[in-house]
Amino acid sequence: MRAFAALALRVGKVGRHLSYSLENARSLLAVAAIVLIAWLVSENKRRFPVMLLPGALALQAGIVLLMFALPGSKAVLNAANAAVVGLADAADQGSQFVFGYLGGGAQPYVSQSAEAPAPFIFGFRVLPLVLLISALSALLWHWGVLSRITQAFGVVFRRTMGLSGHSALAVAANIFMGMIETPIVIRAYLDRLTRAELFLMMVVGLSTIAGSMMVAYSVILQPVLADAAGHVLTASVISAPAGVLLARIIVPEVKGERDAVAPPDLRYEGAMDALTRGVQNGVMVAVNVAASLIVFVALVGLLNNLLTLAPDVGGAPLTLQRLFGYAFAPVAYAIGLPWHDAQAGGALLGTKLFLTEFIAFIELGALGPDAIDDRSRMIMTYAICGFANVASIGIMTGGMTTLMPERRSEILELAWKALLPGFMATLMTAAIVAALPAQMFAR
């Protein structure tokens, strides 16, 4: 009660200095539009989760307030950012030991400026970080730290959103472990999942990101976004309730007996086994990310080369990014971006959906202060922070069909159906954040 009282007092003090505008209200209309779209494609329009809607929205807004308005939240955010810096520095040391100056160490040549920093080579600075976080996550899971945090979140989701025990655990696991590891966590309960629960697990998996990606994306955005680690962490957490809501609207729940929060099924033989398997999983993720980036960036280059055959539009050559910008600019505007940033935001949304969120984060980190406002950059961080893209469908179906071969046809059917709510969940998250006054996030 003291925490809630302190939060209310803090919000009340801040509220006297807050200002609202049409941009804040416009994003609330986007939330209503997203819910309407989900209802229009619902399998059973008569079974709308009326009580879940306000609960999911309140949980999203409440988590944002806890992260940014609660007394002491500044210290938590500073600690999160310091942890990201420390992890990135440790990963750099390992990378430099193996790759030398390519990992950011002393350069063997004289740069044009004596004070110029070492070049940032993505493959040698970010991918090693993915390996480190994957190994640490497995070790923390074996020690019971991460598993207890996951179970605690599962209890919250079960009590606030009425989920069954294994569904609540799956939602919580998606936040920290990712959409591939989550079925492993609840492996013992996969045969009990109803069609609605299987769909929910897919949607939440596409709505969130894995813990290793949280740190990687925080590192990418840290030079251009204040409290990058806090925003990325918050984005992944609050997109889970949005994913649950949209999944329940599109494929309504089958009523049945609710079980208690199930214990996690993922186990390691020891600390060394956890580290070894964590590294192995990290290698698969890093290789997958590197291969996807190579292929999709190459495809973008190929399509842009073909588009040079078309006449210039607006005095500039036509590119895939500009096409994305034109197509998704109304969506970016609807979720809260000012119109002068809408095309840049739309390009990021299209890149996230049809390429990968990794490329979208890289492009967001490359946008200078003159290209997009700070508030727009923060909103877009939430809008693209999820695995909902075409490439992820193949990754998700491959992992799930391996664990549930008898449900292969059902998984393939639901996977593409889950892409739309997975994408809209992060848009809803961004719209909720945009509805809050910008002063709430000022440091």
User: What are 258-282's pLDDT values in tens digits?
Assistant: 455 556 667 788 888 888 888 887 7
Judging by beta carbons within 10 Å of its beta carbon (0-12, 13-18, 19+), is residue 280 exposed, middle or buried? middle
The answer to whether residue 432 sits within a structural domain is: yes
Residue 391 within any structural domain of the chain: yes
Alpha-carbon gap, residue 102 to 393, rounded angstroms: 33
Predicted confidence at residue 19, as pLDDT, reads 57
Position 442 in a domain: yes
Q: In the prediction, which pLDDT does 147 show?
A: 76
Which residues on neighbouring strands pair with residue 102, listed in sequence order?
Answer: none
4 within some domain: no
Measured torsion, CA atoms of residues 90, 96, 101, 105, in degrees rounded to the nearest 10: 30
Q: What angle do CA 338, 319, 26 make, to 5 degrees?
A: 15
Q: How confident is the model at residue 9, as a pLDDT?
A: 52
Are residues 81 and 227 in contact, defined by beta-carbon separation less than 8 angstroms? yes
Task: Describe the crossing of helices 357-366 and 339-354 by its angle, rounded to 10 degrees.
Answer: 150
pLDDT at 324 over 70: yes
Domain-located, residue 413: yes
Dihedral sign (CA 313, 316, 319, 325): negative
| The pLDDT value given to residue 380 | 95
Helix (H) or strand (E) holding 41: none
Per-residue pLDDT, 4: 45
The mean pLDDT of 50-72, rounded to a whole number, is 81
- Domain membership flag for residue 406: yes
Return the pLDDT at 285: 72
Number of domains the chain is built from? 1
Residue 84 near residue 218 (C-beta atoms within 8 A) = yes
β-bridge mates for residue 313, sequence order = 316
Q: Which residue has the higher pLDDT, 261 or 391?
A: 391
* pTM for this prediction: 0.82
- pLDDT band at residue 257 using 50, 70 and 90 as cut-offs: very low
Q: Which domain holds residue 167?
A: 20-106+116-443
pLDDT at 63: 83
CB proximity list for 188: less than 8 A, separation 6 or greater: 262, 265
Residue 16 has pLDDT above 70, yes or no: no
What is residue 248's predicted lDDT score, i.e. its pLDDT?
Answer: 92
- Token couple for 276: 């070894």
Question: For the segment 86-112, what is each residue's pLDDT rounded down to a tens digit?
Answer: 777 777 788 777 777 776 666 666 554
Q: Which helix (H) or strand (E) holds 363?
A: helix 357-366
* Per-residue pLDDT tens over the stretch 129-150: 778 777 877 887 788 777 787 7
Question: Beta partners for 129?
Answer: none
**What pLDDT is stored for residue 73 in this prediction?**
65
